[in-house]
Structure 1
Amino acid sequence: MDKVIKTDEEWRAQLGPEAFKVLRKHGTERAGTHEDFPKDPGTYMCKGCGAPLFDQSHKFDSGTGWPSFYQPVDGVEGAQVGESQDKSWFMTRTEVHCARCDGHLGHVFPDGPNPTGLRYCINGVALDFEPEE
């Protein structure tokens, strides 16, 4: 998969202010501020580059106010969703980002449901939904 690289000006023009803040500047949207996503089968894509990230069937209600998934779209950690260490806010967390464009998506925590035990807590503004045809 080819990397997507753009200038800040190009990203800002494509994404708009809130998505730019989250995807390119590692921001976080406030909990509960993003509308709920469709319940129909489909795939959540990166708003920055269109890479497939999460399948609707892997979404669950975590009660956190952010869309949550228990695994990336292909189930192989690191394939479409990359990880890095985040030491902001006086704690250490695992940040997740789009492997194709390096856009910040959110964080992954070890308190999710089976079968993985993971909770990918994702900013809704970083995703687009593509319904299954």
Structure 2
Amino acid sequence: MKPRELKGKMKNLLLLSVAIINVACNDYAAEETVHKFEIMKTEEEWKKQLTSEQYQITRKKGTERAFSGKYVDNHQRGVYHCVCCNNELFSSNTKFESGTGWPSFWSPLSDSNVLVTLDKSEGMTRDEVLCKKCGAHLGHVFDDGPEPTGKRYCINATSLVFVKK
């Protein structure tokens, strides 16, 4: 093998190794740079805008206690918006009783309003749901929901604002 060919193969191997390490380490900073959010604020700006609980959940990827959120038992008609940027996320038409303790939806209002990304935190592998406009952590989506999608978008009520129809 010629030195130039060896150099090319070594470069490809190095790039593959870096990609594997990023996935293994769950490099969220690298994932977020792939998607440019329309609304970008500093941590201090988010802290001024949000309550401490909203900040912890939406900006630091926290989770509220099961059955503690104000929308778990909400049965009114309307639309759930992002608490950070007011992006329309979920309709009450797709909300269902999952029994998990968090508001659950079988579909977002529009796929263009949410971003689903890989989450390997807490020793688990899950699909994280983010607001596509501002990057707020909303919750996770699972494959154990009702038809027609079979999905369960398990969303923190703290990350939502409900607008009644």
Q: Normalising TM by the smaller chain, what interval?
A: over 0.9
**1:35 Cα deviation (Å)?**
2.1
CA–CA separation in structure 1 for the residues paired with 2:74 and 2:153: 18
Secondary structure of the residue that 2:123 maps to in structure 1?
coil
Which structure has the larger Rg?
2
SS at match of 1:113: coil
Separation in 2, partners of 1:98, 1:19: 14
1:80 equivalent to 2:113? Answer yes
Q: Secondary structure at the match of 2:122?
A: coil
Q: C-alpha displacement at 1:90, in angstroms?
A: 1.0
Structure with the largest fraction of helix: 2
1:116 aligned to 2:116?
A: no
What is the aligned partner in structure 2 of residue 8 from structure 1? 43
The CA deviation at 1:13 is 1.1
Give the TM-score taking structure 2 as reference length. Answer: 0.75
SS in 1 for 2:116: strand
The residue matched to 1:25 in structure 2 has which SS? coil
Equivalent residue for 2:70? Answer: 35
Q: Which runs of 4+ in 1 moved over 6 A?
A: none
Following the alignment from structure 1 to structure 2, what is the Cα–Cα distance between the partners of residues 84 and 54?
A: 18
Q: CA RMSD in A?
A: 1.1
Give the TM-score normalised by the residue count of structure 1: 0.92
Between the two proteins, what is the percent identity of the paired residues?
A: 48
CA distance in 2, matches of 1:7, 1:88: 23
The separation in 2 between residues aligned to 1:55 and 1:35, in whole angstroms, is 16
* Aligned-residue offset at 1:41: 1.5
**Distance in 2 (alpha carbons) for counterparts of 1:116 and 1:39:** 21
Whole-angstrom CA distance in 2 between matches of 1:81 and 1:11: 19
Whose strand fraction is larger, Structure 1's or Structure 2's?
Answer: 1
Provide the aligned length of Structure 1 versus Structure 2.
128
Which residue identity lines up with residue 38 of structure 1 in the other structure? N
> Which structure exhibits the higher relative contact order, with contacts defined as CA atoms closer than 8 Å and separated by 6 or more residues?
1
- The unaligned stretches of length 5 or more in structure 1 are none
